[in-house]
């Protein structure tokens, strides 16, 4: 098969979705398929995301000024949308359509379009598929409503604007979808798809409940088989002596709840070490919370291999976002490496099935400050319990089945079955 991926961001930029798509492409090609990746051209000339989820500033990018363009990529005309020029956007209009059609004439006939985008990349991908009569598999990566609510108080008017943009960009693609909330936006994206997948059971069920698609296939994002095996082989057989070692990994932005976590960590009084991996706008605020607190280290952005090694070396990973993640990659990465997790999101705890410390959520009637106070107290208490279990040698063990099911080879096999079903139904 020749499958064309569409993304909102270039695969060499930083982000979990980009890492997942790179792995998908690699393992599809190992299985004998051809993959073309369509995304906005990058404008940054240095960086590392070819190596890592959180990234590193030392590695060159495919298609950057330091390397020849990757022949698997179609880089669309774009404009940078962040000050560091890491991220960019392409306008979903006739000019982009013409550019893409010309670029694709030099490639094999396309069997299937796989949209893994939420905004302009999704619009461009669905427009391309509709023009050429190609079936679409759409992977939903984003709770658009929750993500916007976490970063702006104007999320409702922003959603109205996004839905108006969607209706204009996808006019004539699938059935028209009315509405102005986040679920209407996702229903509009799914209208042109033959199949919809989600990276977790809980997100798939929510999509079905809100009428986004009748039956959503669950296909987890995976971990590189070879790198996982190498990381496990390099890890010490027995825990190194010392204080309990916690690790937190992610983008330092409000929806990830790093600041409330650090406040709870300080309040817990645990005699433990904590490593923070990643970067973002909240780093200065995060450093201020733990200023003078011994044992807290900000590692910055690491390569994918380095990040996995640090997770494997930790006693526990801490997952802190609530209701935002459509899968929550880091606890699954930790589980497949044998590291248990402290989990704040009950959906992720249920998906993992065991090998964790679940943080009780706030009481249902609690709102605002009361809810956050309850969550902080519950997290502090769970951190104390986790530290005590680690010292006593009674930490939970991740479920073995998760490690096997999280391998990218098994995830690619599952996605190929979806592709084959869609093509058989044409």
Three-class SS state of 6: strand
The DSSP code for 393 is: T
Residue 65's pLDDT is: 41
Q: Which residues contact 188 (CB under 8 A, 6 or more apart)?
A: 163, 166, 167, 170, 174, 177, 179
Residue 58's pLDDT is: 29
How far apart CA 393 and CA 407 sit, in angstroms, is 28
Query: How confident is the model over 289-302, as a mean pLDDT?
Result: 93
pTM of the model: 0.84
How far apart CA 259 and CA 252 sit, in angstroms, is 9
Q: Which residues contact 207 (CB under 8 A, 6 or more apart)?
A: 140, 186, 190, 196, 198, 213, 216
Residue 53's pLDDT is: 47
Structure tokens at 260: 């409330």
Q: Where does the pLDDT of residue 50 fall: very low under 50, low under 70, confident under 90, or very high at 90 and above?
A: very low
pLDDT in tens, 357-408: 999 987 877 777 888 899 999 999 999 999 999 999 999 999 888 878 889 9
Structure tokens at 355: 């090998």
How far apart CA 419 and CA 353 sit, in angstroms, is 28
**Rg of the chain, C-alpha, whole Å:** 21
Residue 105's pLDDT is: 94
Of 135, 100, 96, which is closest to residue 115 (Cα–Cα)? 135
In 11-154, alpha helices (H) = 16-30, 94-104, 120-132, 144-151
Structure tokens at 338: 């044998």
Of 425, 414, 424, 426, which is closest to residue 197 (Cα–Cα)? 414
Q: Where does the pLDDT of residue 68 fall: very low under 50, low under 70, confident under 90, or very high at 90 and above?
A: low
Residue 62's pLDDT is: 39
Three-class SS state of 314: coil
Does 61 or 204 have the greater pLDDT score? Answer: 204
Of 298, 306, 230, 235, which is closest to residue 53 (Cα–Cα)? 306
Does 48 or 173 have the greater pLDDT score? Answer: 173
Residue 59 confidence (pLDDT) above 60: no
How far apart CA 330 and CA 311 sit, in angstroms, is 9
Could you report how far apart the first and last alpha carbons of the chain are, in Å?
15
User: Residue 181 in contact with residue 155, Cβ under 8 Å?
Assistant: no
User: Residue 67 in contact with residue 59, Cβ under 8 Å?
Assistant: no
Of 176, 183, 187, which is closest to residue 138 (Cα–Cα)? 187
Percent of the chain with pLDDT over 70: 94
Residue 289's pLDDT is: 96
Query: How confident is the model over 33-45, as a mean pLDDT?
Result: 91
Structure tokens at 183: 């679920």
Three-class SS state of 390: helix
Query: How confident is the model over 295-312, as a mean pLDDT?
Result: 92
Note every long-range contact of 165-168, with CB atoms under 8 Å and residues 24 or more positions apart, other chains counting. Answer: 165/123, 166/123
If phi > 0 it is left, if psi is from -120 to 50 it is alpha, else beta; for residue 186 that is alpha
Residue 49's pLDDT is: 43
pLDDT in tens, 102-149: 999 999 999 999 999 999 999 999 999 999 999 999 999 888 888 787
The DSSP code for 364 is: T
Residue 300 confidence (pLDDT) above 70: yes
Query: How confident is the model over 187-213, as a mean pLDDT?
Result: 94
User: Residue 375 in contact with residue 322, Cβ under 8 Å?
Assistant: yes
For every residue of 132-197, DSSP letters joined together read HT--EEEE----HHHHHHHH-TTHHHHHHHHHHHHHHHTTTSSS-----SHHHHHHHHHTT-SEEE
Q: Which residue has the tokens 């932005």?
A: 253
How far apart CA 396 and CA 164 sit, in angstroms, is 48
Query: How confident is the model over 242-256, as a mean pLDDT?
Result: 91
Query: How confident is the model over 296-310, as a mean pLDDT?
Result: 91
How far apart CA 309 and CA 51 sit, in angstroms, is 13
Phi, psi of 419 (to 5 degrees): -55, -50
Percent of the chain with pLDDT over 90: 66
Span of 49-53, 84-88, 204-208, 211-215 with lowest mean pLDDT: 49-53
User: Residue 36 in contact with residue 103, Cβ under 8 Å?
Assistant: no
How far apart CA 297 and CA 353 sit, in angstroms, is 30
């Amino acid at each position: 098969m020749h499958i064309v991926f569409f993304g909102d961001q270039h695969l060499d930029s930083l982000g979990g979705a980009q890492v997942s798509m790179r792995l998908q492409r690699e393992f599809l090609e190992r299985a004998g398929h051809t993959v073309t990746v369509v995304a906005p051209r990058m404008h940054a000339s240095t960086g590392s995301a070819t190596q890592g989820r959180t990234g590193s500033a030392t590695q060159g990018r495919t298609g950057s000024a330091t390397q020849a363009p990757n022949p698997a990529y179609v880089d669309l005309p774009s404009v940078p949308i962040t000050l560091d020029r890491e991220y960019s956007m392409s306008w979903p209009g006739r000019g982009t359509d013409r550019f893409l059609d010309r670029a694709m004439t030099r490639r094999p006939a396309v069997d299937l379009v796989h949209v893994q985008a939420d905004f302009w990349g999704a619009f461009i991908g669905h427009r391309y598929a509709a023009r050429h009569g190609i079936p679409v598999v759409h992977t939903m990566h984003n709770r658009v409503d929750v993500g916007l609510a976490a970063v702006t108080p104007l999320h409702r008017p922003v959603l109205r604007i996004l839905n108006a943009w969607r209706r204009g960009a996808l006019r004539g693609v699938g059935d028209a979808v009315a509405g102005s909330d986040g679920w209407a936006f996702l229903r509009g994206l799914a209208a042109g798809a033959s199949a919809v997948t989600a990276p977790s059971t809980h997100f798939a069920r929510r999509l079905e409940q809100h009428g986004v698609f009748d039956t959503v296939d669950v296909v987890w994002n995976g971990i590189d088989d070879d790198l996982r095996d190498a990381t496990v082989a390099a890890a010490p057989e027995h825990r190194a002596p010392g204080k309990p070692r916690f690790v937190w990994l992610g983008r330092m932005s409000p929806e990830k709840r790093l600041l409330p976590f650090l406040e709870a960590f300080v309040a817990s009084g645990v005699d433990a070490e904590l490593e923070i991996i990643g970067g973002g706008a909240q780093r200065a605020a995060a450093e201020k919370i733990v200023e003078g607190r011994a044992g807290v280290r900000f590692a910055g952005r690491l390569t994918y291999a380095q990040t996995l090694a640090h997770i494997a070396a930790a006693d526990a990973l801490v997952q802190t976002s609530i209701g935002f993640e459509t899968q929550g990659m880091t606890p699954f990465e930790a589980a497949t490496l044998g590291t248990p997790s402290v989990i704040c999101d009950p959906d992720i705890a249920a998906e993992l099935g065991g090998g964790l410390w679940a943080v009780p959520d706030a009481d249902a009637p609690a709102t605002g400050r009361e809810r956050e106070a309850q969550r902080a107290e519950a997290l502090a208490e769970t951190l104390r319990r986790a530290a005590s279990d680690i010292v006593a040698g009674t930490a939970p063990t991740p479920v073995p089945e998760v490690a096997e099911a999280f391998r990218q080879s098994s995830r690619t096999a599952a996605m190929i079955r979806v592709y084959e079903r869609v093509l058989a139904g044409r």
